[in-house]
Amino acid sequence: MLTFARLSHDLAALEVRAGQVLMVHSSLKRLGRTEGGAATVVAALRRLLGDEGTLVVPSGTSSNSDTSRLYRTAVAGMTPEEAASYRSRMPAYDPATTPSDLMGRIAEHVRTLPGALRSAHPQTSFAAVGPRAAEIIEGHARDCLLGEKSPLARLYDAGALVLLLGVGYDKCTAFHLGEYRYTDRPPRRGYRAVVDDGNGRVWWEFEDVAVYDGDFAALGADFEQTGAVRVG
């Protein structure tokens, strides 16, 4: 069983250090049995990062969007009437209360920590805790999933490191920033998500880069060849 002491030792061996800005993608289940669960993992990370370090996690949601893969799967085989009914019951995004579905227990624990901040984007939000949280989280534009007006760009500017715990490169959200930077005119598509604007449900529509993660595993394998990756 993984303990706080063992996690602290192993994370230190991966060079998690005080003062870093660290984005973590994780799967508690794949880490194995952990004494204290997600809280223990987060406590070990925060102890190593110290008071000057900032911990960041993806806290995105798919259950509030009718342009998401999750929605397409859910309504497959439904009649138009059934799909419309399903759409009308999709939960509106509220950054203060909406759970980060599909991001795992560790990310959800960070999101709910006292003092944690979460970005306002209804699909690709991030949560952070630490002295640089506001710098990274604030200003996440409605029409920017994972580009220059998102926390990913602020993480890049801050020289952040990425830690993959129990997950592979296919879960490395940081790679998406490259889709915005590799060309002046990346492919684009439309997106929709329902939000709670304080007065009720409102559907946001916007256009942004057509993000794609199908080649992230191969990209990560190539990245390892640069020597910039520590594995443990």
Domain count, the chain: 1
- Look at residue 217 and tell me if it is in a domain: yes
- Look at residue 71 and tell me if it is in a domain: yes
Q: Provide the edge-to-edge strand list for the sheet that holds 117-118.
A: 117-118, 126-129, 54-58, 21-26, 161-165
pLDDT tens digits, 206-217: 999 999 999 999
pLDDT tens digits, 132-164: 999 999 999 999 999 999 999 999 999 999 999
- Look at residue 98 and tell me if it is in a domain: yes
**Average confidence (pLDDT) over 31-54:** 98
- Look at residue 77 and tell me if it is in a domain: yes
Domain around 18: 4-224
- Look at residue 229 and tell me if it is in a domain: no
The predicted pLDDT at position 153 comes to: 99
Q: How far apart are the first and last CA of the chain?
A: 17
The predicted pLDDT at position 127 comes to: 99
Residue 102 banded pLDDT, cuts 50, 70, 90: confident
